[in-house]
């Protein structure tokens, strides 16, 4: 089940909210836990046991680490065992077949793939579980004594399948005691509706032109660029839309999840881009991988190595394909170059130059990211620059450019702060009247698209 589905919008969510708000304050977390397990069961059935196993593992690890607070060697041993088991689960379910295929390719063996089913959201909830255990070891938080509260944190359906990656330290106080207000609920409804519209009305429509371009018999530079720019816009509106929906659901229930996107396509450097894109993932790797490796404290050569390791892992986190690893290494190279000299130069140039430079490499990166394999990604990049003498455009590509120009323009404007800036200029008394009407209209339009059976791809099965 996904947020952008009729079953979620008109069956699961109304029932979940009704039961949640009907429950006494002390029971609300348990209702949330029950509904989260139902939500995951619909998408994963027997794999619910995997999630529960991860919860038990990290719950026990947290208690043991706190018990050995005065014996750091013992606490560290518990932490290492817990992390090994957490990432062994992730490695088996997400990377076992990838490893087998790589071995077969390199050594010419014929090992039969295990065909392991990837549990939805495993990358998110195992990262959250691991961060909890690490934070208990670091004494950033106290171990949670109530296993059901820890389970509520890990399974929370608003952010289970597509983030943001919510750390225990950011919500532990709200798990114990949070306020429910009409203002917070209405803010959540608005944020959820906007996220739904970003996903259904923009991302899904752009996904159609990508599909058309990829499966067309016409090879042209125009089609290659339409596909590349289209995916760059689709992945932003898809992912940021899901983050908006998650943050909105959190607001409805009194949680304040941290922001995950901050208009990344207006960045004037790759460094700035990664401070604005999937911020919860970037900060997770910074705090739990880059800094423990030594960060920038052990000289330039070690810093370059640390950046390379972090971005190689960041690429593989997104999927078990070498194209993802190459995508991560591309960003490692760009970030290192900016750190060495390019960052200073970009600050001296007009901002537009930096924005165009950033967008160019982001688009190239997403071509590799979206490709079935590295070869196909490089082939598309070649097509974007006319490799093999392919024509600039053809009848079909020009037709679809005219047909989809409107949605491309809307998406390009929507990826900037322009709309939010204009809304802030509207007097509050007018906005209070218009906002519920606007949200209701958006919901109706989105519902119409979903009922009509519009293209509704789910990118996060790859994560």
The pLDDT tens digits of the residues spanning 55-85 come to 999 999 999 999 999 999 999 999 999 999 9
Inside any domain, residue 435: yes
102 in Cβ contact with 66 (< 8 Å): no
Whether 167 and 199 map to the same domain: the answer is: no
Single residue among 117, 148, 178 that ends a domain in this structure: 178
pLDDT the model gives residue 388: 86
Whether 103 and 249 map to the same domain: the answer is: no
Domain that holds residue 314: 184-462
pLDDT the model gives residue 431: 87
Average pLDDT over residues 37-57: 84
Whether 188 and 167 map to the same domain: the answer is: no
Single residue among 119, 154, 178 that ends a domain in this structure: 178
Whether 106 and 213 map to the same domain: the answer is: no
pLDDT the model gives residue 257: 92
Whether 291 and 330 map to the same domain: the answer is: yes
Average pLDDT over residues 238-261: 94
Instruction: Judge whether residue 180 has pLDDT over 60.
Output: yes
Whether 229 and 99 map to the same domain: the answer is: no
Instruction: Judge whether residue 297 has pLDDT over 60.
Output: yes
Kindly report, residue by residue over 335-387, the tens digit of the pLDDT: 999 999 999 999 999 999 999 999 999 999 999 999 988 999 999 999 999 99
pLDDT the model gives residue 215: 85
Whether 110 and 21 map to the same domain: the answer is: yes
241 in Cβ contact with 204 (< 8 Å): no
pLDDT the model gives residue 40: 86
Inside any domain, residue 1: no
Whether 104 and 172 map to the same domain: the answer is: yes
Inside any domain, residue 209: yes
Single residue among 124, 145, 178 that ends a domain in this structure: 178
Inside any domain, residue 330: yes
366 in Cβ contact with 230 (< 8 Å): no
Q: How many of the other CB atoms lie within 10 Å of CB of 287?
A: 16
pLDDT band at residue 463 using 50, 70 and 90 as cut-offs? low
Instruction: Judge whether residue 185 has pLDDT over 90.
Output: yes
Look over the chain and give the mean of its residue pLDDT values, rounded to a whole number. 92
Kindly report, residue by residue over 209-249, the tens digit of the pLDDT: 999 988 888 899 999 999 999 999 999 999 999 999 999 99
Number of domains observed in the structure of the chain: 2
252 in Cβ contact with 185 (< 8 Å): yes
Q: What percent of the chain has pLDDT over 70?
A: 96
pLDDT band at residue 145 using 50, 70 and 90 as cut-offs? very high
pLDDT the model gives residue 46: 65
Closest by CA position to 16, among listed 36, 43, 45 = 36
310 in Cβ contact with 289 (< 8 Å): yes
Average pLDDT over residues 428-438: 89
pLDDT the model gives residue 87: 94
Inside any domain, residue 375: yes
Inside any domain, residue 287: yes
Whether 298 and 402 map to the same domain: the answer is: yes
Q: Please name the residue that has the structure tokens 């430079």.
A: 357
Alpha-helix residue ranges (DSSP H) falling in 198-339: 204-215, 221-252, 270-276, 279-285, 291-293, 300-318, 322-337
- Residues labelled catalytic: 318
Whether 69 and 104 map to the same domain: the answer is: yes
pLDDT band at residue 163 using 50, 70 and 90 as cut-offs? low
pLDDT the model gives residue 456: 60
206 in Cβ contact with 408 (< 8 Å): yes
Inside any domain, residue 68: yes
Instruction: Judge whether residue 111 has pLDDT over 60.
Output: yes
pLDDT the model gives residue 233: 97
Whether 218 and 131 map to the same domain: the answer is: no
Closest by CA position to 224, among listed 407, 387, 460 = 387
Q: What is the largest CA-CA distance in the chain?
A: 73
Inside any domain, residue 232: yes
pLDDT the model gives residue 455: 58
As a residue count, the chain comes to 463
Whether 345 and 403 map to the same domain: the answer is: yes
């Amino acid at each position: 089940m996904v947020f952008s589905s009729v079953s979620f919008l008109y069956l699961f969510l109304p029932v979940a909210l009704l039961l949640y708000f009907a429950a006494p304050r002390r029971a609300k977390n348990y209702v949330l836990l029950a509904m989260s397990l139902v939500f995951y069961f619909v998408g994963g059935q027997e794999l619910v046991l995997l999630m529960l196993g991860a919860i038990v593992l990290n719950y026990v690890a947290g208690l043991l680490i706190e018990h050995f607070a005065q014996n750091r060697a013992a606490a560290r041993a518990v932490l290492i065992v817990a992390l090994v088991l957490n990432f062994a689960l992730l490695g088996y379910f997400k990377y076992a077949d990838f490893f087998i295929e790589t071995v077969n390719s390199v050594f010419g063996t014929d090992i039969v793939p295990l065909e392991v089913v990837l549990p939805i959201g495993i990358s998110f909830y195992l990262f959250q579980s691991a961060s909890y255990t690490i934070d208990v070891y670091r004494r950033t938080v106290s171990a949670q004594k109530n296993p059901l509260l820890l389970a509520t944190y890990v399974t929370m359906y608003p952010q289970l399948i597509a983030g943001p990656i919510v750390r225990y330290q950011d919500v532990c106080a709200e798990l114990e005691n949070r306020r429910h207000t009409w203002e917070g609920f209405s803010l959540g409804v608005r944020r959820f509706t906007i996220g739904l519209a970003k996903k259904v009305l923009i991302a899904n429509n752009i996904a159609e032109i990508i599909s058309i371009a990829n499966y067309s018999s016409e090879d042209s530079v125009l089609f290659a660029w339409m596909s590349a720019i289209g995916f760059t816009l689709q992945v932003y509106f898809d992912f940021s839309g899901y983050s908006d929906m998650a943050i909105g659901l959190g607001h409805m229930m009194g949680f304040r999840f941290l922001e995950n996107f901050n208009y990344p396509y207006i960045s004037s450097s790759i460094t700035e881009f990664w401070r604005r894109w999937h911020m919860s993932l970037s900060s997770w790797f910074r705090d739990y991988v880059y800094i423990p490796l030594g960060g920038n404290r052990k000289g330039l050569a070690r810093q370059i190595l640390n950046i390379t390791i972090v971005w190689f892992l960041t690429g593989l986190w997104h999927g078990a394909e070498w194209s993802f690893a190459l995508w991560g290494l591309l960003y490692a190279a760009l970030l290192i170059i900016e750190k060495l000299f390019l960052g200073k130069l970009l600050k001296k140039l007009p901002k537009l130059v930096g924005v165009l430079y950033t967008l160019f490499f982001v688009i190239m990166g997403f071509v590799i990211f979206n490709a079935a394999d590295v070869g196909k990604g490089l082939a598309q990049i070649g097509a974007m620059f006319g490799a093999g003498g392919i024509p600039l455009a053809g009848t079909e590509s020009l037709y679809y450019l005219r047909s989809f120009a409107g949605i491309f323009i809307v998406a390009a404007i929507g990826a900037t702060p322009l709309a939010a800036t204009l809304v802030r200029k509207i007097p509050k008394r007018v906005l209070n009247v218009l906002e519920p009407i606007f949200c209701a209209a958006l919901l109706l339009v989105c519902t119409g698209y979903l009922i009509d059976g519009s293209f509704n791809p789910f990118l996060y099965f790859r994560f």
